[in-house]
Chains A and B, each alone.
Chain A
Amino acid sequence: MDILDPLRISLLIATAGTVACVAMGTPVAWAIARSRSSVAAVISGISLLPLVLPPTAVGYYLLWLLGRESPTGRFLLDDLGIQLVFTWPGAAIAAAVVSIPLYIRTAAAGFEQVDEEVLMSARTLVPPWRVFTFVVVPLAWPSLIAASLIAFARCLGEFGATVVVAASIPGKTRSLPAAIYDANLAGNETLAHQLSLAALAIGFVLVSLLTFVLQAAIRRDRP
């Protein structure tokens, strides 16, 4: 076992998981930030659930949902031919589910900062999708980038839910955290140390990027 395979698989899972967080979490964050309706409040509450559940419980539910026991799993397998359990895309879904509350909270905080009167003026000028694309996103970008980096970091470090859904198959689903766990369990301290150092290096890069983004945002908001 070397460090490159787990590193590659982790980056794959984290990238796909982050893309899923952005795609699904952005509309939810916008709804939570701007809507006063009770539906938005319920969505807000549900979106927090993965944060308070043990990741292994999230993994357990996902395993049921994506496996042959559930109608969705049978539909995916039998009708579409898509196997997600014990694959890296399955691990990416598990990582995204665990990370999405962090993405939504951070992005929603950014959306809440967008001036209501600026939005009202924009709404009288162009259709809602243009308001979102050309006013909201450019004004909330530091929060959206920060949310993506946090989601990426959480996906990268995710262990409990991914290992339940995708297990730890060498070269296929064994991610960095799973590899560290396995190396430690096998008594291979050198490998465990190398893998942990790789995780530390990635973490350092992510934290640096996050700091840079936040600094840029502070500079932009300064009058």
Chain B
Amino acid sequence: MTAIDAAIRWHAGDFHLDVALGAGPGVTVLFGPSGSGKSLTLRAVAGLLTPSEGRIAVDGRVVFDSARGLDLPAHARGIGYAGQRPALFPHLSVGGNVAFGIRAGSRADRARTAAAWLARLELPGFEHRRPGSLSGGQAQRVALARALAPGHRVLLLDEPFSALDESLRQGLRQLLADLVQERELAIIFVTHDLREAHLLADQLVVIDRGRVLQAGPRDGVFRAPRHRRVAELLGGTNILAGRVVARAAASLTVSIDGWEAVAASWHGDPQPGDAVDIVIRPERVVIRRGEPAATNTLPARVRREFDYGTNHTLEFEPLGPGPSLLVDLPSRPYDVLGIAAKKDWVLELPPGDVHVMPAAPPFRATTQ
């Protein structure tokens, strides 16, 4: 059963939110830039924001329906929620925080349940601590325990790790992934961090300027964006303008700056002569030595390089006709290949990693 099924319309000033969202078991990541409407969508589902129009169902139960005048309060929607900050109740103990939303059982039962959740979130014996004495990572784990303790199967998390150090984030992401498996949770996770989105998502929903641009299984959305803006948001830094030269049953031949490449992935119905955008993810490009092959190879030279510590981003310019390309390479292959000393290479682009989309103008940020 779909855990969340929502159609939401809301506006304030010039900003219009108009999203349709479906989320099943596992982690559905709501990804988009700041101000795109991700948190508003989450709050509308949680019952913390009233849409002007729409319908929201949680686990098959309608909790909001503007047509019927139905608007269940947040606590009655059967949803756990944690925001960007832990926002613990400062006047209660850690145990009191976690037990706050538990409805069933005696006081002692609730305290036991809270203690069990704290133990599961790797905070055993923390019940009597005060929120002010916790570190950022501990406080966020208490916030997660508080959201989970009432026993809800659906959890809404609004950038819960954004204020934490990277090392703490990694531990919490793993903990979350374990909990999803263990408790069969359905989570909607809001983030604007691309790495976090890729790491956690089973399903990915890309949202921008109040609209869902694309939704589907993570790898499908990453590998095959529908149009330029999705590719831009998902870090597809090689977005090239080209034209379809030929179309076969399972491949397209496209021309990019006088260089021809074969693509095995496309969106829409591109026909020979059509202007298209081509996206090639920088981490999918293969670097090798030797002679260029007949298809999808491009002799190129390193023009600039950027060292990010764990990986290098190399900017290649073609030695003949063709586009300039950015290539991401982990540090170890960079050292082994000796790229610091040798600059001329052959770039190889597997046809499955060359994705063609209908042509669209480059995105220009507008004031919302």
Contacts and interface: CB of A to CB of B under 8 A. Distances in A.
Interface of A: 115, 117-118, 120-128, 134-135, 138-139, 223
B75 A124 contact: yes
B87 A115 contact: yes
B74 A124 contact: yes
B85 A124 contact: no
30 contacts: A117-B84, A118-B87, A118-B90, A120-B43, A120-B46, A120-B81, A120-B87, A121-B81, A121-B82, A121-B83, A121-B87, A121-B146, A122-B100, A124-B46, A124-B47, A124-B48, A124-B77, A124-B80, A124-B81, A125-B100, A125-B146, A125-B150, A126-B101, A127-B73, A127-B75, A128-B73, A134-B100, A135-B89, A139-B89, A139-B90
Given A121-B146, A125-B100, A138 B132 contact: no
Interface string B127-168: 000001000000000010011001000000000000000000
Interface string B219-261: 0000000000000000000000000000000000000000000
A125 B143 contact: no
A125 B80 CA distance: 8
B206 interface: no
A123 B73 contact: yes
A187 to B, nearest CB: 55
Contacts of A115: 87
B364 interface: no
B79 interface: yes
A128 B75 CA distance: 8
B91 interface: yes
A138 B91 CA distance: 7
Interface in B42-95: 43, 46-48, 73-77, 79-85, 87-91
Contact of A123 (B47, B82, B91, B143): B47
**Top 3 A-B pairs ranked by shortest CB distance?**
A125-B101, A117-B87, A124-B81
Given A121-B82, A121-B146, A223-B132, A126 B75 contact: yes
